[in-house]
Amino acid sequence: MSDLPVLTWERLLWAAAVVLVYVLFCTSVALRRALLRRRARQEADALAVGGEAVLVVYASQTGFAEDLAWKTAKTLQMGKVATRVLSIADLTADDLTSTKRVLFVASTTGEGDAPDPAARFVGRVMKAEPDLGGLSYGLLSLGDSSYVQFCAFGRHLDAWLTERGAAPLFDRVEVDDGDEGALRHWQHQLSAVSGVIDAPDWSRPAYDRWRLVERRLLNPGSQGGEAWHVALEPAEGTAAWAAGDIVEIGARHGPDEPADTPAPPHREYSIASVPQDGRIELIVRTMTRPDGRFGVGSGWLTKYADVGGDIELRIRANRAFHAPEPSRPLILIGAGTGLAGLRAHLKARAAAGANRNWLVFGERSAAQDYFHQHEVEAWTAGGVLERVSLAFSRDQAERVYVQHRLAEAADDLRLWISQGAAIYVCGGIEMGKAVGATLTEILGAQAMADLTENGLYRRDVY
């Protein structure tokens, strides 16, 4: 007798039921997506107001980029910023030349390919080489690092936009497999575009409990804002991170804020220490809002939270600012609180015996604002820092900034680059722009593009 199963009505019915359940499930997922999209669209339309609209363009294969484009539009409209959401399939060169600001949400598909709806844009608009000198843009690049060509289309689009003369509003944000931390970082960047600083996080970080163990003013008597050394230890266990990583802090309201308002969104800070320190150290500038209240995150960390008290904290890996191999010479450039990210790298390099380091640091006045001066001097004495260039802007009649120190040292800079050096920049966006422009003058646009392409020009600018 054969062992083949006998086809019975009962079996057929079961099979039909399984298929039916599956079809219903798929339909419900698709319906839910469509409903969510429609609701977002309706809310976006309801919120749309006049003025110079920001164009939000999505290049999407399976719909994730499109969802995020609508969410992005909604977030902007909370700040009364008019937006227009468009598929890249409908985007023309005229749209780009007649708009001042555009935000792209672009995924990558296949083996590093553009999504299908982008075919015409890639084939025609990109080839036509329009002049985008009047355009500023932000770019959210979706991908999955298990593919060799990670975020390839987003990177390609970014390179094309800068080649055409468009100016980035902030550095490209890359999202690996839907990483929520990276999406919160995008939201954080959007706050600069929308002017809304308290929009709730799209997803709440899975915070760990940490303890604030030390808080010390780094610049007593400064003409500038207070800068604090803030140290935190995990409430239980140990934590791991790499130089270049970032913390997300869950701030609480200050005493001048009604307690029943929703919890503020996360705030981000560059980590200034390494795990061997046993603690996370930050350099936090106390910010003041136009109405005189302290900044959400900085008020919490530098004014309101008790030393010894709990802090909600999550470490976010920031691969874009991870270290080069120790054998490479490293030029570290930063101003103000930007020293934080550079300090983590210097600590890691010191521990690895990597001594070809050149620090370029700027602040207002040497007497008050030379953060962690004793450490920098000890690194110099101990051979960890081969060279230090300081730009204290207010210590002489004319203002001197880090980019001026770079220009003065142009020959040495070229020499270091010829020896394989990497350039790491940390700090405010304006400093980042000025440094980028000066580096391009010194090294040339092609060399900068090559450095970027090879991961030897990296930035943590905010």
Ligand X SMILES: Cc1cc2nc3c(=O)[nH]c(=O)nc-3n(C[C@H](O)[C@H](O)[C@H](O)COP(=O)(O)O)c2cc1C
Specify the length of the chain in residues: 462
User: Residue 313: which of 412, 403, 225, 209 has the closest Cα?
Assistant: 209
**111 interacts with ligand X by CB under 6 A:** yes
Stretch in the footprint of ligand X (CB under 6 A) among 91-99, 132-140, 147-155, 334-342: 147-155
Nearer Cβ to ligand X (108/273): 108
Among positions 64, 202, 207, 304, the unique one binding ligand X when judged by CB under 6 A: 64
The SS3 assignment for 3 reads coil
Q: Is 72 in the site for ligand X (CB under 6 A)?
A: no
Stretch of residues binding ligand X (CB under 6 A), selected from 6-14, 37-45, 102-110, 398-406 = 102-110
- Considering only 38-46, 101-109, 208-216, 409-417, which stretch makes contact with ligand X by CB under 6 A? 101-109
As a three-state string, the secondary structure of 104-122 is EEEECECCCECCHHHHHHH
Applying CB under 6 A, among 144, 179, 226, 450 the residue interacting with ligand X is 144
Among 87, 150, 288, 380, binds ligand X (CB under 6 A): 150
Min CB(157)–ligand X separation in Å? 13
- Answer yes or no whether residue 62 interacts with ligand X by CB under 6 A: yes
User: Could you tell me the smallest distance in angstroms from the CB atom of residue 117 to ligand X?
Assistant: 9
Q: Does 65 bind ligand X (CB under 6 A)?
A: yes
In the beta sheet, which residues pair with residue 316? 246
Q: Does 63 engage in binding with ligand X (CB under 6 A)?
A: yes
Contact 214, 271 (CB under 8 A): no
The residue count for binding ligand X (CB under 6 A) is: 21
152 scored as a contact of ligand X (CB under 6 A): yes
Asked if 116 touches ligand X (CB under 6 A), the answer is no
142 lies in the binding site for ligand X (CB under 6 A): yes
Long-range contacts of 292-299 (CB under 8 A, 24+ apart): 293/254, 293/256, 293/257, 294/254, 295/267, 296/197, 296/198, 296/251, 296/264, 296/265, 296/267, 297/249, 297/251, 297/264, 297/266, 297/267, 297/268, 297/269, 298/267, 299/251, 299/254
> Cβ 63 to ligand X, closest distance in Å?
5
Q: Could you give the dihedral angle defined by the CA atoms of residues 352, 358, 361 and 366, in that order, rounded to the nearest 10 degrees?
A: 100
Residues 9, 48: contact at Cβ < 8 Å?
no
Contact status: 336 vs ligand X (CB under 6 A): no
Select 62 or 454, whichever has its Cβ closest to ligand X. Answer: 62
Query: Residue 116 or 131: which CB sits closer to ligand X?
Result: 116
Q: Is the dihedral of CA 88, 89, 95, 97 positive or negative?
A: positive
The tokens for 128 are: 């036509």
For ligand X, the binding residues (CB under 6 A) are: 60-65, 107-112, 115, 142-144, 147, 149-152
